[in-house]
Amino acid sequence: MINNKPRIAIYDFTDCEGCETKLVSLREKLLLLEKKVDIVNWRLGQEYFEAGPYDITIIEGAPITRHEVDLLKELRENSKILIALGACAALGGIPAIMPEKDRKYWYEKIYTSQYAPRGIDAVPLSAYVKVDFSIHGCPIDENEAVRAVEELLAGKTPSYRGYSVCFECKQAGNPCRLLENKPCLGPITQGGCGAICVSGGSPCYGCFGIRDEANIPALRKILEKFADEKEIERYFSMFHSRTEDFNKNKEK
């Protein structure tokens, strides 16, 4: 009997594996999804693996070694669809906070000058290959992951939410942080997270990515009314120091 189910591979580069743990937490939903696809290569969830080509490859983490960069390019060549899973893969994430020029100093300070580092600059997957879709978050929202895969299986191109985190804050009944003179990137961040951070008392740092047509200069002007430049840069650089949207508006 011919098996026509799409073949899916799930890889991880440099990361905390929090986004993959979210996939495991799907439990029954994951089992239902497995009836529609063949997950043929997943280090965290299986003891066996099959070589490519793959119909869909999902990658968590930022590639920060030459081996990871080479593997990423190989996976791109052998995958019909490549998905970035989580902020590290989609945006560079936490590993990208440190500029490349500072890495040598900290390598020597922490590990001594005798240490031969393997790490290079941390950048999003898209810095090296074409990414077909990004499932954002730090960590991801597992329901967003299911939605994206199900849309792909239905022959659709997954779409991002057409609203910002502010919409979800309104739904949750959260008071606006900006009106309280508290930094927040909610207005420029695409929805899908359910405003979980703001609901918990924290600011939005934008881990779900910059939404379409976001007005970054306007938000910066608002933030400048009650925050200094250093604090503003700290909020933006948490997840967006290596994104095109942030850097092209940085000096505006």
| Measured torsion, CA atoms of residues 35, 37, 40, 46, in degrees rounded to the nearest 10 | -40
pLDDT for position 35: 83
pLDDT tens readout for residues 6-17: 999 999 998 899
**Does pLDDT of 251 surpass 60?**
no
Burial of 57 (0-12, 13-18, 19+ CB in 10 A): buried
Which tokens belong to 235? 């909020």
From 73, 68, 162, 72, select the one nearest 120 (Cα to Cα). Answer: 68
CA separation (Å) from 242 to 27, 100, 126, 127, 193? 34, 11, 11, 9, 21
pLDDT for position 168: 97
Q: Per CATH, is 7-153 categorized as 3.50.50.60? A: no
Q: How confident is the model at residue 245 (pLDDT cuts 50, 70, 90)?
A: low
Give the pLDDT mean for 32-44.
86
pLDDT for position 249: 57
User: 229-240 and 216-223 helices cross at what angle (nearest 10)?
Assistant: 140
pLDDT tens readout for residues 165-185: 999 999 999 999 999 999 999
Give the pLDDT mean for 217-233.
93
- The ranges of the chain annotated as CATH 3.40.50.700 are 7-153
CA separation (Å) from 51 to 55, 61, 75, 106? 12, 20, 10, 37
